[in-house]
Amino acid sequence: SASKRDKGRAANRNTNKVRNKQLQEPASLEDISGRKFNHRSRSATNSNRNSGEETGSDDYERETPSRRRSRNEERDPRRLRTGGQNRLTRSNRRPYKVRHMNNQGKHNSSRLEVRDDSQDRSYDQSNSTPESKIHKKPRAADTGLWGDITLDSSIVTSLKNMGYDHPSDIQEASIPWQLMGRDVVAQAVTGSGKTASFGIPMCNLVDVKSRDVEGLVLVPTRELAQQVQRELSLIGRDRGIGVVAVYGGEPIAKQIRALDKGMSIVVGTPGRVKDLMNRRVLDLGHVRNAVLDEADEMLDIGFADDMEYILRRTPSQRQTALFSATIPSFIRGLIRKYLNEPRWIQLVNDTKGLETVDEVDQIFYDVASQDKSDGIVEVLDDIDEDSQVLIFRKMQVGVDRLARGLASEGFAIKGIHGGMSQTERNRVMTAFRDGRLKMLVATNLAARGLDIPSISHVINYDMPENIEEYVHRIGRTARMGKRGTAISFIGEWDFELHQKIVDKIGEEKMIQRKFSFY
């Protein structure tokens, strides 16, 4: 009986081995291309491969990823390795088979229906970017003349659309040198067109096909960054040049998203530019043109370290240009350090950078501090209601008080200063720029950021700290050859500064008047 039991156990073991072997070798399947997976041994598979037969699934699973991708591309030409742009996705792939295990341990084939949109549209394996969006570098046949300056024809078209029929003196003197790749230091009167002087050659020289930042403009204030960005965008619009302004007071995430789109030119304040560099969002390793606009103001308000930090991280072979209405002695050290044998362009007279345009009528009133509020009402009553007026005060609290006081007198007026939110500042500036707001009270920040040709009057309710700031303030009027008026209230603490202005600019240019209540 024992021997019978042993024989029975042996028979059961053999039966189980057969069953297990059958379960390990399921019936053959067909995939989407009709090829059979035979699930044969490695040796059989290798022999069949040598004889030119199809390989089994065991060998298919052992294939390298690159060989498997090649097999997939032969099966479906839409499955291309193009960086993810045209890869097979759930929305465009063909219906495919999936295997399900039934209760008996066998595989069934069922079809999962997936929408195939590729049949509804033509498929192009080449680059999908439209030809119209591929910008080409300027050719000799694509150039045109703006005055005597040869530029890309699209730049010439943009300038004519902006109303720039001929270059100004500073533009005619500085642009050719920049087009030649020379460093430039340009000093000219405020309102002579300095922004276009560096914006035109920068937009003309950048490679629009590159996604790298090739142009950098550093400015002292947010308002000036917005103004420069707006003008450079208009100049380079027909070439498809992307320009972004980066500055504090606005969410940095919005500016990062703009940079991710591949901007050619960045205009910004040194603090925000440095912040973006430290976040590894802004790469200045490909900058070809760097511009320091209003460099004296940037140094004066404490941006010297940030400016040097930024310039040291740009290519040493870059072209650098410095533009400002005044160039005091302390800025010459920066020029010697970061500019390479620059071409100096000074369209000034013997007033050493303190020239004011002849189109500005400079009027001053001697007035006590407690009488300034009455004096400003008298001055504004004499100004035509269609004129745009910019009033300067030293302190933010002074801006708010004067704006409220004049509003209570019936004047439509707003204030702007650095203590306001960026959204509110943008709203006020837009209204003033569009002409919907005729009167604006501002701190010195606006003196560097406003470029509105329609400003007819500038009023120094509070006198500036120095002569250079006086020049910048009154330069907000009489833009591009238009006439303007600058009115200054000389208080009991302003006589010394006023005398310096008269000595430097000339007494013949100053007009003295008296208020009716004196």
Q: pLDDT tens digits for 143-152?
A: 889 989 999 9
Which pLDDT score is estimated for 446?
Answer: 60
222 assigned to some structural domain: yes
Among 59-68, 88-97, 263-272, 437-446, which range has the highest average pLDDT?
A: 263-272
Report the CATH number that the domain containing residue 489 is assigned in CATH: 3.40.50.300
Whether residue 354 is contained in a domain is answered as no
Q: Using only C-alpha atoms, what is the Rg of the chain?
A: 37
Query: Do residues 294 and 386 share a domain?
Result: no
> What one-character DSSP code corresponds to residue 141?
G
Same domain, 328 and 371: no
Final residue of a domain: which of 346, 373, 398? Answer: 346
- Give the model's pLDDT for residue 64: 57
From residue 171, give the alpha-carbon distance in Å to each of 11, 215, 340, 346, 484: 104, 18, 21, 12, 22
Q: According to the model, what pLDDT value does residue 52 have?
A: 44
Number of structural domains (the chain) is 3
| Same domain, yes or no: 371 and 486 | yes
Diameter of the chain by CA atoms? 141
H or E element at residue 429:
helix 422-434
For 410-457, how does the pLDDT look when each residue is reduced to its tens digit (9 = 90+)? 999 999 988 888 889 889 988 998 999 999 999 986 656 677 888 999
Instruction: State which residues form the domain around 238.
Output: 143-346
Residues 162 and 186 in one domain: yes
Which of 346, 380, 414 is the C-terminal boundary of a domain? 346
**372, exposed or middle or buried, with CB in 10 Å at 0-12, 13-18, 19+?**
middle
Q: Is residue 119 part of a domain?
A: no
Residue 102 lies in a domain: yes
Give pLDDT, residue 70: 55
Residue 9 inside a domain? The answer is yes
User: Which has the closest alpha carbon to 474: 358, 300, 373?
Assistant: 358
* Contacts within 8 Å (CB) and 24+ apart, 193-196: 193/167, 193/168, 193/480, 194/170, 194/293, 194/323, 194/324, 194/325, 195/227, 195/228, 195/231, 195/232, 195/293, 195/451, 196/159, 196/164, 196/168, 196/171, 196/231, 196/235
107 and 187 share one domain: no
pLDDT at 475: 83
Does the residue 86 lie in any domain?
no
Do 367 and 276 belong together in one domain?
no
